[in-house]
């Protein structure tokens, strides 16, 4: 009985030059992939650090804007008080102004959330069968 040819017989027929060239290609591709992945990891690290810094700065901006808004309401209340408006009327007006401002901001948040639609990106990457 004859034995079927094994893969060992194939490797014996390959020349050492072909094997070493193939090994060099594998090593160079591994090196290239490692450098690309390292660059991607470095970019991600820089992005996360920048995002954390941006978040901290935005918290500071929000705090200052909130303080400014409250000072504007307080200034308007003090001016109204100096002109003889009732304290209850001033407080109700300030509450109504704050409520309307919050409603406007909530409306803007809703519009922004509607515009944050990733379906265009998904359709570009994975087109639906209707297209």
pLDDT digits (tens, 9 = 90+) for 91-121: 999 999 999 999 999 999 999 888 877 666 6
Claim to verify: residue 21 and residue 66 sit in the same structural domain: yes
- Counted domains in the chain: 2
Q: What pLDDT score was predicted for residue 22? A: 82
Encoding tokens for residue 74? 């307080």
Give domain status of residue 32, yes or no: yes
Give domain status of residue 108, yes or no: yes
Give domain status of residue 127, yes or no: yes
Q: What pLDDT score was predicted for residue 54? A: 92
- Domain extent for 118: 86-131
Encoding tokens for residue 31? 């090196």
| Tens digits of residue pLDDT in 56-83 | 999 999 999 999 999 999 999 999 999 9
Claim to verify: residue 66 and residue 29 sit in the same structural domain: yes
State pTM to two decimals: 0.51
Q: What pLDDT score was predicted for residue 14? A: 59
Give domain status of residue 5, yes or no: no
Q: What pLDDT score was predicted for residue 9? A: 47
| Tens digits of residue pLDDT in 37-61 | 888 888 888 888 999 999 999 999 9
Give domain status of residue 76, yes or no: no
Mean pLDDT estimate for the chain: 82
Claim to verify: residue 94 and residue 50 sit in the same structural domain: no
| pLDDT band, very low/low/confident/very high, at 30 (cuts 50, 70, 90) | confident
| pLDDT band, very low/low/confident/very high, at 131 (cuts 50, 70, 90) | low
Give domain status of residue 7, yes or no: no
Claim to verify: residue 127 and residue 101 sit in the same structural domain: yes
């Amino acid at each position: 009985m004859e034995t079927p040819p094994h893969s060992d017989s194939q490797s014996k027929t390959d020349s050492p030059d072909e094997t070493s060239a193939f090994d060099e290609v594998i090593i160079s591709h591994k090196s290239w992939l490692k450098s690309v992945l390292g660059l991607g990891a470095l970019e991600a690290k820089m992005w996360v650090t920048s995002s954390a810094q941006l978040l901290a700065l935005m918290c500071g901006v929000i705090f200052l804007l909130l303080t400014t808004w409250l000072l504007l309401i307080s200034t308007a209340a003090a001016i109204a008080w100096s002109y003889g408006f009732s304290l209850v009327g001033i407080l109700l007006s300030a509450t109504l102004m704050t409520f309307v401002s919050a409603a406007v901001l909530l409306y803007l948040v809703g519009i922004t959330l509607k515009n944050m639609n990733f379906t265009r990106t998904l359709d570009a990457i994975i087109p639906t069968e209707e297209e």
